[in-house]
Structure 1
Amino acid sequence: MMAYDFHQGSAPLLVSIPHAGTRLTPEAEQGLSPEALPLPDTDWHIPELYDFAAGLGASIIRGHYSRFVVDLNRAPDDTPLYASATTGLFPQTLFDGTLAWKAGKEPDDACRQRWLAEIWQPYHQKLQAELARIRQQHGYVVLYDAHSIASMIPRLFDGALPDINLGTNDGRSCPPAMAQAMVELCESYPQYRYVLNGRFKGGYITRQYGSPARRQYAVQVELAQCNYMRESHPFNLVDDKAKALKPLLRAFLERLANGGDFGA
């Protein structure tokens, strides 16, 4: 059971893609509800949107398994990320509140512990090892956690989500200069609405590994999916929208890969 794909780069930048995976374990294939089996809460097409990252020298780690098996961006003890509605380490519902599992088919504790050991832990062990390697080589490291979500989910937030959602754990996961650099890039693409530390402030990965005092910086970028894909099944990429969005994403990674130590 290989939990992730990994590419090692040469820049002081690691791109994490934890929620684009679509693999299911046999238990999940048999137990997920009809509403969950199409995997509607997947971060669809994120690897394609960032297909230039390796060419910029970034290291890249991408999870293979669906978040309905185990969510790589949640704490291993399942501590909630937000006081408002959210989903956990082993999601029981879709984002809209629909049950994710057939009655009586939910994974038992032994199954969950196996998924934690064989899927969650390897991803985080590799992520930690690569952060340490990059920091040792360059003196600092930037972790870019790449996500997307449907633009309207009434259970999670009111109205339409901004197009670009930057999360720095309310300024605790990176230096102010790094957040400001990303805000300035957003302002140079006025066709997209953006917010810094709005509804999405960064998940477990951003909060756990962003440590400016150690010169280890992290930011989560959550994209509203209406800007690059169909938000209903079969969740197709919309090529012209994706092509329009990618220059901003490339500008983010170029700035982070080549911007020097923002905390120096």
Structure 2
Amino acid sequence: MYPSATDDALPLVVDSPHSCRAMPPVIGCIAPETALMTGVDAYVDELWSSVPYVGGELLCANFHRCFVDANRSALDIDQDMLETPWPTLTQTSNEARRGMGLIRRFALPGVPMYDRKLTVREVQHRIHAFHTPYYERLNAAMDAAVARFGQAWHIDCHSMKSVGNAMNADAGQSRPDLVISDAEGTSCDPAFTQWVADVWQAKWGYQVAVNHPYKGGEIIRRVGKPLQNRHSVQIEINRGIYMNEATFEKTANFDRLASHIDVFLHELRDYIHSRLQPEGAQVPGYR
């Protein structure tokens, strides 16, 4: 967690759950490095690194999403990759059935992660040592913001491939520059979602879609509680506008995008200030 770098604290929490490149050594992991890298939101933590300088807090995962995915439910267990049945209740998603759940069975479609099945114990360890602490830190930051300001805003930051792959609803289709998601209007005041989209479209002419092809993952669904004044959106940035997707290297446009994010964060600071009540006040509902 990177705390606020300014005395002008803001009830803003930004997280990047998929930007860690380091895959810990795991017995039987056979996925090639290039396949593992496609699952990384490369440079997203760097792109959003100025969050503390507008008064917000930035949380970045220090574990690879293929090891355990912070944007999946802890109940999203893929039984097909286990030596023995999971001992408690599960809620297996379509993603897990395709091998892209909490613990990945595939690094890419058709590219297996392991040459063996995992034990229940090692999966439980990944949940307790990595997944659960991530949510504890994220929730603590949101709780502190709400306790001080009566409300809080959260942005869950990701990157996406420029073309949808075989497992996505937009398979083979070119994607917009950004996708803003709010779990179809349930994770925040829809006016905030629209404000975010409008800034990127009006200020720089980016192509922006809302809730397609991404509607938002586990993080915004758990963090976003607009009736409790906790507003959460997910932002996916097209990798093709800032990096080479084949070599994973930054392109010349990286600095331009980073500067736009800096400006966006300052606009967001002003947006939040305009909606803040006196310190400690509780704001009933949202408009």
Check whether TM > 0.5.
yes
3-state SS of the aligned residue for 1:170?
Answer: coil
Q: RMSD of the alignment, in Å?
A: 2.2
- Corresponding residue for residue 110 of structure 1: 121
Distance 1:50 1:179 in 2: 18
Q: Is 1:18 the counterpart of 2:17 in the alignment? A: yes
The Cα of 1:250 is off from its aligned counterpart by: 2.6
- Which one of the candidate residues 111, 116, 137 is aligned to 1:99? 111
* Superposed counterparts of 1:126-145, under 5 Å: 126-145=137-156
Q: Does the aligned pair in 2 maintain the 1:164–1:223 contact within 8 Å?
A: yes
Distance 1:201 1:83 in 2: 17
Q: Is 1:223 the counterpart of 2:237 in the alignment? A: yes
- Corresponding residue for residue 79 of structure 2: none
Distance 2:263 2:196 in 1: 9
* Superposed counterparts of 1:190-201, under 5 Å: 191-201=205-215
* Superposed counterparts of 1:73-88, under 5 Å: 73-78=71-76, 79=91, 80=93, 87-88=100-101
Distance 1:23 1:92 in 2: 18
Q: Which runs of 5+ in 2 are unaligned?
A: 77-90, 277-285
CA-to-aligned-CA distance 1:136-182 (integer Å, 9 cap, x gap): 11111001000002111331223111110000111111112211211
Q: Does the aligned pair in 2 maintain the 1:81–1:204 contact within 8 Å?
A: no
- Report the residue type matching 1:22 in the other structure: R
Distance 2:158 2:26 in 1: 26
3-state SS of the aligned residue for 1:70?
Answer: coil
Q: Which runs of 5+ in 1 are unaligned?
A: 1-5
* Superposed counterparts of 1:11-90, under 5 Å: 11-27=10-26, 30-34=28-32, 38-78=36-76, 79=91, 80=93, 87-90=100-103
The Cα of 1:37 is off from its aligned counterpart by: 6.0
The Cα of 1:53 is off from its aligned counterpart by: 1.4
The Cα of 1:31 is off from its aligned counterpart by: 1.2
Q: Is 1:8 the counterpart of 2:3 in the alignment? A: yes
Q: Is 1:179 the counterpart of 2:193 in the alignment? A: yes
Q: Is 1:232 the counterpart of 2:246 in the alignment? A: yes
- Corresponding residue for residue 216 of structure 2: 202
- Report the residue type matching 1:7 in the other structure: Y
CA-to-aligned-CA distance 1:92-128 (integer Å, 9 cap, x gap): 113x403232322x43221111010001011101111
- Report the residue type matching 1:231 in the other structure: E
How many equivalent residue pairs? 254
CA-to-aligned-CA distance 1:58-107 (integer Å, 9 cap, x gap): 1011001111100000011014277996821001113x403232322x43
- Report the residue type matching 2:48 in the other structure: Y
Moved beyond 4 Å, runs of 4+: 35-38, 81-86
3-state SS of the aligned residue for 2:233?
Answer: strand
Which is further off, 183-192 or 56-65?
183-192
Structure of higher CA gyration radius: 2
Q: Does the aligned pair in 2 maintain the 1:142–1:216 contact within 8 Å?
A: yes
The Cα of 1:245 is off from its aligned counterpart by: 1.7
- Report the residue type matching 1:25 in the other structure: P
Distance 2:136 2:114 in 1: 32
Amino-acid identity (%)? 23
- Report the residue type matching 2:44 in the other structure: I
Distance 1:87 1:248 in 2: 32
Q: Is 1:211 the counterpart of 2:210 in the alignment? A: no
3-state SS of the aligned residue for 2:26?
Answer: helix
Q: Does the aligned pair in 1 maintain the 2:20–2:63 contact within 8 Å?
A: yes
Q: Does the aligned pair in 2 maintain the 1:143–1:217 contact within 8 Å?
A: yes
The Cα of 1:54 is off from its aligned counterpart by: 1.4
3-state SS of the aligned residue for 1:7?
Answer: coil
TM-score, structure 1 as length reference: 0.88
Q: 1:256 to 1:100 in 2, by over 3 A?
A: farther
Q: Does the aligned pair in 2 maintain the 1:43–1:148 contact within 8 Å?
A: yes
Distance 1:112 1:243 in 2: 39
Which is further off, 160-169 or 252-261?
252-261
- Corresponding residue for residue 3 of structure 1: none
